[in-house]
Amino acid sequence: MRKWKRTHREGPAGRGSSSLLWLAGAIAIAGIAIAFAIGLGDHALTDYQLRFAQFGATIAGGAGVIISAIRYIWERQEELAWEKTKFMIDLFREFEAESRLRRAQELIDDAQATGDQTHLTRILGDLAGLDEDEINDRRAIDRYLDFFDHLYTYIFITRTLRPQDATSFSGYMIDVLDSEAVSEFAFRWGYEDVLKLAIHFRDQAEQELRAEEADRLRDEVVAKRRR
């Protein structure tokens, strides 16, 4: 089974409470500034001095609110990024740990390596005549497709992930699309969304390949002109 590199970092512990403290601090600063601006009216200042002091206090309060809001938004984005990273790590662990998913990938890999789809065609066809091991293999393929069906939901329905967040799974899904037996089974049993996502990843891979080829040709042309 193909592997991918994963990175791990500590989550932003306590950042939610820190953000709330900053927001509360900004509100307090704004309140003090406004109170200060109003209170200045009781002092013996010229009209110009009073307006200038009130303007400065208002600017200070507004700046406190703006700075705190920016910091809150930045920390919230960090929290969301960490939550998404943790979500992907959990998905990777599930994909690696579950024996049915590993078995399904072995079946698809073996069929591609040998060019023989006979076993897949048999177990994904009529249930009649299948022995216990073959039924378990069929269930493994079904679970495999169900996993990627959930991935489609996370990307296009709940918007928990973006397509680029799940590119580590793209090769596995393209393999599903390239397997005639598995793709036909997916279509018959309502896994059209899996095929849609696989097509998306394949199109993206082809676009990247064409871009790389264009860059390579451009470099060759530039090199020849310099000779």
Residues 173, 144: Cα–Cα separation, whole Å: 10
Residues 103 and 50 in one domain: no
CB 110 within 8 A of CB 66: no
**Residue ranges making up the domain that contains 201:** 98-226
Please give the pLDDT value at position 205.
83
Please give the pLDDT value at position 176.
95
Tell me how crowded residue 194 is: count the other CB atoms within 10 A of its CB: 25
Residues 97, 116: Cα–Cα separation, whole Å: 27
Residues 183 and 208 in one domain: yes
Please give the pLDDT value at position 114.
94
Please give the pLDDT value at position 33.
57
How many folded domains does the chain comprise?
2
Residues 172 and 105 in one domain: yes
Residues 133 and 198 in one domain: yes
Q: Is the residue at 5 inside a domain?
A: no
pTM score: 0.63
In the block, residue with structure tokens 């820190």:
18
Please give the pLDDT value at position 2.
40
Residues 44 and 131 in one domain: no
Q: Is the residue at 190 inside a domain?
A: yes
Rg (CA), the chain: 29
Show pLDDT as tens, one digit a residue, over the chain (227 residues): 343 433 333 444 444 455 555 555 655 565 555 555 555 445 555 676 667 666 766 776 676 667 767 776 766 666 656 677 787 888 889 999 999 999 999 999 999 999 999 999 999 999 999 999 999 999 999 999 999 999 999 999 998 888 888 888 999 999 999 999 999 999 999 999 999 999 999 998 888 877 877 777 777 766 766 76
Cα dihedral value 171, 173, 178, 184, nearest 10 = 170
Q: Is 149 exposed, middle or buried (0-12, 13-18, 19+ CB in 10 A)?
A: middle
Residues 21 and 77 in one domain: yes
